[in-house]
A = this chain, B = another copy of it.
Amino acid sequence: MTRDLHSPPRATQSFSAHLAPRASKTKDQRGTLHPAARRLLLDASPHPRLLAQERPGGRGPRKSPLSLPCPSIHPAPASGDPMARAHWGCCPWLVLLCACAWGRPKAVDVGGQDVRNCSINPPYLPVTVVNTTVSLTALRQQMETQNLSAYIIPDTDAHMNEYISQRDERRAWITGFTGSAGTAVVTMKKAAVWTDSRYWTQAERQMDCNWELHKEVGTTPIVTWLLTEIPAGGRVGFDPFLLSIDTWESYDLALQGSNRHLVSIITNLVDLVWGSERPPVPNQSIYALQEAFTGSTWQEKVSGVRSQMQKHQKTPTAVLLSALEETAWLFNLRASDIPYNPFFYSYALLTDSSIRLFANKSRFSSETLTYLNSSCTGPMCVQIEDYSQVRDSIQAYALGDVRIWIGTSYTTYGIYEVIPKEKLVTDTYSPVMITKAVKNSKEQALLKASHVRDAVAVIRYLVWLEKNVPKGTVDEFSGAELVDKFRGEEQFSSGPSFQTISASGLNAALPHYSPTRELNRKLSSDEMYLLDSGGQYWDGTTDITRTVHWGTPSTFQKEAYTRVLIGNIDLSRLIFPAATSGRMVEAFARRALWDVGLNYGHGTGHGIGNFLCVHEWPVGFQSNNIAMAKGMFTSIEPGYYKDGEFGIRLEDVALVVEAKTKYPGSYLTFEVVSFVPYDRNLIDVSLLSSEHLQYLNRYYQTIREKVGPELQKRQLLEEFQWLQQHTEPLSAKAPDPASWASVLVVSTLAILGWSV
């Protein structure tokens, strides 16, 4: 409602910043995937309608990129690229989300699109194409100085972020193609892009004839092409900070024995060409979160990590943190260098006797420097070194008798290659990532509190929609703006946690759909509407999806909605042994759909942070998520999508808590902390068991208790009234035969004049 005075520097600014050009930023999130998931990804392709919604633009890409209505966030697209492992970022879980049902391969109709034609002379180039001749020539000059036959330009940044900043969009800048996934390779004679089917049309609209388009993904086709294009002995350059360890290994393996050599070049050649046109390094303040919003002090966190180092059987002397969320969490620092995530470019090297934070020192206020105890050099003093020094510093540190612990899932080859293998201690996730996954009681309380306020914003929006949709004045885009605005009015708000998915009717069945100001659909009482949105608050990150219908849904829509709801309930109320993997239980969210031959093609949930990532690894229900433990938060979000008609998703965030079981044992269950009622208009009560009804009515009671007072406190009386109505206990519609019979008996007896 009101902005708090204790606003951390710049935090309030990031809200509007997120709605600016970045809102249309597209970026996948990918990670270490189960092979099956990766196989599925290979089939992923967009819905033709999605492509039809591209909006035209001019030379724009370099400054305001052309973009498909393909948000960076959920449901997010994914490539089938084996290099997917290269990408880190907050959350690769959604890869699966889009890969299956949504991603059913379809022939992409390029005919009606305004695309290039390089087979005629002169070639036909639509206005959306970027002329890259000059920059390519300049790049080849740089390659020549390095004696390279080829240069690889990936789509990542140095931290494998889910969302990357414009200054990291090198592949988009050099090719003109702004799709979120795709690798470019330039030789002295040719230039080529490999991207998946979601982006083929977009690439044909944006790239000039300097570029070949290859409709495959993965290192294998790239290397196969390279072998025919560059001579024996040829050197293949790459920026080691843009390849994950795994991706580097796959290139290295594929090139083995070919007499072509990978050459790590730490100065990015595209950056040299991009020059002063390249967006500058962020210079906003890096601020410390107030103690009220942190679960522990940074000193406590540092001590905790050091204690894990000591306990580790390989006794590492240092932990190297490469993911931005790790540094943000460890030091309780935030900024807004990249979209949606309150992070700042940094690395940290936490040794047994020192703490080194690699970041731009000028971005810290004197208060923050004091907070970090940065004027000393003891084991509890944070020494700030320049971000650009990280590689040299790690290399120098590695000269000693040390062992450096890294999380291999999100460390780049640029760091990896300077540490001798015998001095590496590798785990998939760093101890910071693992520790962060389990929230302590204060963090739990903070995250819950943010969800109560978040519910207020969503409820205000739903109430407003209920009144305004029938007027025919609301569209998907204005709706998204409004819910973002309502969130922005909540205490401690720091902008959306991802681009709001506001999708009406058939659009809700589309993968990675978000409306734009130019292209959107009217909301109508005749259609279902899906809203998937979340906020960043200083106390927590939120993410909730509700699907509503203001008119008369079809029987099938009600059945599908109710079965999705049953899935949500069945997983939410499941009792399972401690340390069970999410993948072992996620089918409970699907069973009610499977029963009648329905399903959804995405994952069932992901971790979430305290003013950190909305998709926080490594918690969730996928095969590469870690086992469930008390104190973790995960989303639970089954759905159903009827191609060309409607989409349903019901997403809640839930805390993993201990379950009390009849017989003693270490069991867990979920406590849902999202507090917005489901749509009664879409629930077919006859499909619910008495256990479902009981669960639902208990949940509604909780919503009343949590959100009701908040609405009353703020005099949101209309919203309070709405909440009361929408959380009325549900009961089986038809009175059961027992009740009828009882009524009859009572009546009969009454007739007879007997007292009962």
Contacts and interface: CB of A to CB of B under 8 A. Distances in A.
A231 interface: no
A367 interface: no
A745 interface: yes
Contact of A594 (B594, B667, B689, B749): B667
Interface in A154-186: none
A36 B624 CA distance: 12
A738 interface: yes
Contacts of A744: 741, 745
Contacts of A737: 738, 741-742
A661 B594 CA distance: 8
A60 interface: no
A597 to B, nearest CB: 3
A597 B667 contact: yes
Interface in A581-601: 581, 583-588, 591, 594-599
A584 to B, nearest CB: 5
Nearest to A585: B587
Interface string A708-722: 000000000000000
A661 B595 contact: yes
Interface string A560-581: 0000000000000011110011
Interface string A404-447: 00000000000000000000000000000000000000000000
Contacts of A56: none
A599 B597 CA distance: 30
B665 A599 contact: yes
A661 B586 CA distance: 21
A518 interface: no
A291 interface: no
B741 A663 contact: no
Contacts of A662: 596-597
Given A587-B588, A736-B738, A741-B745, A576 B594 contact: yes
- Complex copy number for this chain: 2
A595 B575 contact: yes
A597 B664 contact: yes
A595 B591 CA distance: 17
Nearest to A660: B597
Interface in A305-359: none
Interface in A720-756: 736-738, 741-742, 744-745, 748-749, 752
B748 A596 contact: no
A581 to B, nearest CB: 8
A741 B737 CA distance: 9
A586 B587 CA distance: 9
B665 A598 contact: yes
A575 B598 CA distance: 10
Contact of A597 (B580, B661, B736): B661
Contacts of A587: 576, 580, 584-585, 587-588
A174 B594 CA distance: 56
A690 to B, nearest CB: 10
A586 B661 CA distance: 21
B594 A575 contact: yes
Contacts of A665: 597-599
Given A584-B586, A587-B584, A596 B745 contact: no
A692 B522 CA distance: 46
Contacts of A585: 587
Contacts of A664: 597
A592 to B, nearest CB: 10
A570 to B, nearest CB: 9
A377 to B, nearest CB: 37
Contacts of A586: 584
Interface string A635-667: 000000000000000000000000101111101
Nearest to A574: B591
Contacts of A36: 581
Nearest to A598: B663
Contacts of A689: 689
User: Which of A580, A585, A587 has most chain B Cβ within 10 Å?
Assistant: A587
Nearest to A736: B738
Contacts of A736: 738
Contact of A583 (B576, B577, B584, B659): B584
Contacts of A594: 574-577, 661, 667
Contacts of A749: 748
A583 B663 CA distance: 26
Nearest to A663: B597
A665 to B, nearest CB: 4
A405 to B, nearest CB: 20
Interface centre among A599, A667, A737, A741 (most CB of B within 10 A): A741
11 contacts: A36-B581, A574-B594, A575-B595, A577-B594, A596-B663, A597-B663, A597-B664, A597-B665, A737-B741, A745-B745, A748-B749
Closest 9 CB pairs of A and B: A597-B661, A741-B741, A597-B665, A737-B738, A597-B663, A596-B662, A738-B738, A748-B748, A575-B594
Given A594-B661, A594-B667, 14 more contacts: A36-B581, A574-B591, A574-B594, A584-B584, A596-B663, A597-B659, A597-B663, A598-B665, A599-B665, A736-B738, A737-B738, A738-B741, A748-B749, A748-B752
